[in-house]
Amino acid sequence: SGSMTSSSSSGSKGAAMVWRMVLMACLAGMVSAAPPVKPHIVFVMVDDFGYYDIGFRNPLIKTPTLDALVQNEAALFERHYVFKYCSPTRRSFLSGRLPPHIGGGDNSASATVDLRMHTIADKLNSAGYQSHMSGKWHAGHDVVAQTPHGRGFNTSLGYFNGACDHYTQKDSEDGCGTVTDLWNTDRPGVGLNGTYGDYLYAGRAVETIENHNPSVPLFYYLALQCAHDPMEAPDRFTSMFDGSTCPSVVEYAFSSVIDEAVKNVTEALKSRGMWENTLFVLSSDNGGPAFSDQHAASNYPLRGGKYTLFEGGLRVTAFVSGGVLPAAMRGVNIPAPVHVCDWYATFSTLAGVDPKDDAPGIPSIDGMNQWPVISGDQTEPIRTEIFLADGCLIQGKWKLLTGNAGDESWSGPLYPKVPATKGEPLKYPALFDVEADPEEHNNLASSNPEIVSNMTARLKTLEATDFNPAKPQIPKGAICQRTLENGGFLTPSDWSPSMLSQKNTERPVQQ
C-alpha cells in the first residue's frame, strides 16, 4: 500500500506540474495576444489622397517617411473603405456609424453628427484620455455644441468647412460672402490665420504632444488639409518636382507636405518616449480627385476616384503603425476588409470602454473591433458586409453597384499628363469580385444572377435603415451675423465672447 501511496502522490505531482506548464503556456499566449492597455492613439485623416500618390506605389513621388513606416513599421490595409467624399467619412469616423446611418451624402456646411450621439472623443475621454484635434472638421458648426470642443476635444485648431484657402483660411461655403474659417478651441482663431494650413495643424499636433504628460493616455485627431484643392503648396515642396516629367507638380508637392507632417508628429512622439505605447493610424477620407476638383490625383490601378462608387473612390491608402502594433505585423498587408467606422469600436475596446452608444431615436454603432485582425490574432475577416452607400454593397469579395456609380475611367500612373482610359459603358446592376479584380474590369453580373438578386434584396433592406441626423434649428442669417461681429471669422450662431469668461476650461465628460 506504501508504494501505491507514493506512486499516486508522485503521479498527482506530475499532473500538477503538467497543468502548471499548460497554464503558464496559456498565460504566455494571453500575454502576447493581450491588447495594449490604453495606448496613446493618433489618427491622421488625409484629405483627397490619391491611391497612387505615395512613394511606395509611385517612384516619382517623394514620401520617405510614409514609405519607411509602411515598409518597416506598419501594417498596410489592402481594403480600407470610406465614403466617396469628405464629410460623410469624417462623420462616420467620429460616430462609429456607416455613412448611410449618419446623414448619407450630406456634404453641406450644416452636415453634422447627431448631438444625441457620443463621438469617439467622448468615448475615450470617459476612459481617462485627453483628446485634441486640428485641421479640417466638416462635421457641424451651426451651434457651439457641434464644434470639436463641443464634441469632446479638449482643444482644437482648424477650419469648419470642406475646403479653404491654404494660406488665408478663407472660404465662402456658409453663404456669408468670403470669411476666415479658423477656430481655436472655443473662440475665433484671431491672429493665427495667414500661415500655410498644414503647418498650422501639424504644428498644433507637435506642440500638444510636446506639452502632454505621457502618463495620461492621449487621443489626437489630425485632419490634414492636403491634398485638397485649391492648388497651393509652399515653394520648398513644389521645387522638389520637375514639371517636365512630373504629371502634376502641386499634387505631388501635397504628398510631400503630408509626409513631412507625419515625420514631425512621429518624431515628437518618439522624442517624448510615447511612440512605443502609441497606435498610429493614417487614412485618406476618399479617393483622389482624378475626375473632379483639381483633376490631378491618380488612383492607379483602381477605377474611378473621388465622388464615384468605384474602388478608386472608396478604397483608400490606410495603414496602422506605432509601438503597440505587434512586431510580426510590421511590414505586412492586411487583406481583411475594414471600414473607417470600425476605428470607433477598435479604439474604444483598446481604451477599455464599451463601444455601445445607444439612445432613443438614433441608430446603434456599426463599427466593429478590428484589433484581432490588426494584431494578427485572427486572419478571418471580422467584417463580411459593408453597406458603403445607397446603391453600393460589399459582401466578402463581391461588390454590387445598382445604378450610376460615377465616372468610370481609370487614371494611369502618369495621369493627368497621360489621359485616363475608358472602357465600354458599364451595364447596371454591376457585380465585381474586388479580391481577384480590384480594378473592376470584369462585370460578372450576367454570370451570377443569384448573387445579384440576393445582394439587391439585401441592399434594399439596408437602404430602408438610412438615417438623417437632427440638425439644430437656428435663425436665418445668425451665422453670418455672428461672423460679422467677430471680424469676419466664421462663428457658430450661438457663440458670444461672454462664453469665455463664464466657462470652465475643461469640458465635462459625457457619460
Q: Which of 86, 176, 341, 392 is catalytic?
A: 86
In the residue annotation, 226 being an active-site residue is answered as: no
Residues 193, 182: contact at Cβ < 8 Å?
A: yes
pLDDT 10s digits, 355-393: 999 999 999 999 999 999 999 999 999 999 999 999 999
- Strands annotated E in 160-201: 170-171, 179-180, 183-184, 187-188
Counting DSSP H helices and E strands in the chain, the numbers are 13, 18
Residues 62, 332: contact at Cβ < 8 Å?
A: no
Cα dihedral across residues 333, 335, 336, 342: positive or negative: positive
pLDDT class of 502 with cuts at 50, 70, 90: low
In the residue annotation, 101 being an active-site residue is answered as: no
Grid cell digits, residue 382: 471580422
Grid cell digits, residue 150: 463641443
Residue 423's pLDDT is what? 85
Strand 218-223 and strand 179-180: the pairing is unpaired
- Strands annotated E in 194-245: 218-223
Grid cell digits, residue 448: 451570377
Grid cell digits, residue 385: 458586409
Residue 503's pLDDT is what? 55
Residue 13's pLDDT is what? 46
Which amino acid is located at 194 in the chain?
G
User: Does residue 220 surpass a pLDDT of 80?
Assistant: yes
Residues, the chain: 511
DSSP string, 292-347: STTS----TTSB--TTSSSHHHHB--EEEESTTS-GGGTTEEE-S-EETTHHHHHH
Residue 392's pLDDT is what? 98
Cα dihedral across residues 256, 262, 267, 270: positive or negative: negative
Task: Provide the 3-class DSSP secondary structure of residue 197.
Answer: helix
Q: Which residue has the cell 475596446?
A: 349
Grid cell digits, residue 267: 518624431
Which amino acid is located at 13 in the chain?
K
pLDDT 10s digits, 26-77: 444 444 456 778 999 999 999 999 999 999 999 999 999 999 999 999 999 9
Q: Which of 138, 212, 228, 339 is catalytic?
A: 138
pLDDT class of 508 with cuts at 50, 70, 90: very low
Classify residue 69 by its DSSP letter. Answer: I
Task: Provide the 3-class DSSP secondary structure of residue 156.
Answer: strand
> Which residues, 6+ apart, have CB-to-CB distance to 483 below 8 Å?
174, 176, 179, 489, 490, 491
